Amino acid sequence: MSGTQTWKEKAAEAAFVNGFKGVMGTYYKAEPYIRRRIESNLVNKYDDKTATFEGGEMELLTQRNYEKAFVNLWKAETVAPYLGFQDASRADKAAAVKDHVIVGAYHGEGAICEDDPTVEIDDLVAHVTSDEVRREFQEAYSPEQREAICTIMSLLGHGEAYALYTSATLLPVVKGTGAKMGMAMQAMEEAKHFMVLREMLRTIDDIRPLKTSARMLFETVAGKDYYHKLFGMNVILESFATNLFSHFEDFPGLRHIMRAFHMDESRHCAFPQTYNSLGNIPEHVTHDPKYQRARMMMLVPALPIIFDYKPYFETLGLNVFEFFGRFVAKVTRLSERSGFPMPQKREDILYGINNLFNAYVRNFEPEKYEGYRDYTLLRGGEISQDMADREREVFGSDIFGGIGDMIAKMRIGKNAARSARDAQRAVASMLN
Give 24 or 91, the one with higher predicted confidence.
24
From the list 235, 232, 391, the residue with the least C-alpha distance to 297 is 232
Band of pLDDT at residue 115, cut at 50, 70 and 90:
very low
3-state secondary structure 79-98: HCHHHCCCCCCHHHHHHCEC
Q: Please give the pLDDT value at position 121.
A: 54
pLDDT digits (tens, 9 = 90+) for 256-289: 788 888 888 999 999 999 999 999 999 999 999 9
67 alpha carbon, distance to own chain's centre: 26
- Give dist(CA 25, CA 238) in Å, integer: 30
- CA-angle at 296, arms to 397 and 304, nearest 5°: 100
Q: Where are the domains of the chain?
A: 2-58+120-431
pLDDT digits (tens, 9 = 90+) for 187-218: 999 999 999 999 989 888 889 999 999 999 99
Q: Which residue type does 110 have?
A: G
- Give dist(CA 208, CA 49) in Å, integer: 7
pTM (2 d.p.): 0.84
The CATH class for the domain spanning 2-58+120-431 reads: mainly alpha
